């Protein structure tokens, strides 16, 4: 509850007219950003905890061994995905991506994951290997002075039917195979 309350209070502050319109002084803007950043992190702890409870549920195998499966996942949010940055996807040999749909109807989604190379495989929970595509991170983004990232590409895949107020998870792993790096269309240079 204290985690949620921090974000609740921050959202209260964000309803001040200066926060809504951007007419706050610069130092106040920094403070707003700090509050929102901390609020996102505190709520992340809650979602991590809830998702771990949901994904841990006792499976038949667990019952056979008489104990819950001791699986804990990080469920990190990557707040810099808008500039194609994410430590987990850039640096891990294998990782999972969980998509939670906050809407009251199922949705489809094109997922873009920043990656350093073009040798990944994406599987869903039914052991189906998904079609993927790579596109380069735009040159202007790669040249941003403050962007410290290994990601040169974005891995794209299509997710169908994420259930309402529900989630789907994907297992993403580096492979030994070599894939073609995305090349510009030569007819349109």
Task: Return residues touching another protein (CB under 8 A).
Answer: 18, 21-26, 29, 47-48, 51, 71, 73-78, 81-83, 86, 88-89, 92, 94-103, 107-111, 123, 125, 127, 131-136, 138-141, 144-146, 156-159, 162, 171, 173, 182-185, 187-189
Q: How far is the CB of 34 from another protein (least distance, A)?
A: 14
Q: How far is the CB of 1 from another protein (least distance, A)?
A: 21
Nearer of residues 10 and 101 to another protein, judged by Cβ:
101
Nearer of residues 60 and 184 to another protein, judged by Cβ:
184
Q: How far is the CB of 5 from another protein (least distance, A)?
A: 20
d(CA 15, CA 152): 38
Q: Which two tokens stand for residue 56?
A: 């841990």
- Tokens 């104990």 belong to which residue? 67
- Tokens 């309350």 belong to which residue? 5
Q: How far is the CB of 183 from another protein (least distance, A)?
A: 8
Q: Which two tokens stand for residue 175?
A: 């492979």
Nearer of residues 13 and 47 to another protein, judged by Cβ:
47
Nearest to 117 by CA among 184, 178, 159: 178
Q: How far is the CB of 79 from another protein (least distance, A)?
A: 10
- Tokens 């941003």 belong to which residue? 144
| Dihedral of alpha carbons 177, 82, 8, 102, sign | negative
Q: How many CA atoms lie within 13 A of 11 on its CB side?
A: 9
d(CA 37, CA 43): 10
């Amino acid at each position: 509850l204290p985690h949620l309350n921090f974000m609740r209070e921050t959202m209260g502050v964000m309803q001040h007219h200066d926060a809504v319109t951007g007419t706050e002084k610069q130092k106040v803007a920094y403070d707003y950003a700090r509050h929102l950043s901390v609020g996102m992190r505190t709520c992340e702890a809650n979602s991590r905890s809830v998702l771990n409870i949901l994904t841990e549920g006792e499976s038949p195998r667990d019952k056979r061994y008489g104990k819950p499966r001791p699986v804990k996942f990080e469920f990190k949010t990557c707040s810099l995905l808008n500039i194609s940055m994410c430590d987990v996807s850039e640096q891990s040999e294998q990782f999972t991506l969980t998509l939670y749909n906050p809407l009251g109807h199922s949705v489809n989604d094109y997922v873009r994951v920043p990656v350093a190379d073009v040798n990944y495989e994406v599987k869903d929970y039914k052991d189906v290997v998904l079609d993927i595509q790579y596109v380069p991170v735009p040159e202007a983004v790669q040249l941003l002075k403050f962007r410290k990232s290994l990601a040169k590409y974005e891995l794209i895949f299509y997710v169908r039917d994420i259930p309402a107020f529900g989630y789907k998870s994907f297992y993403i792993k580096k492979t030994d195979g070599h894939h073609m790096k995305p090349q510009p269309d030569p007819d349109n240079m």
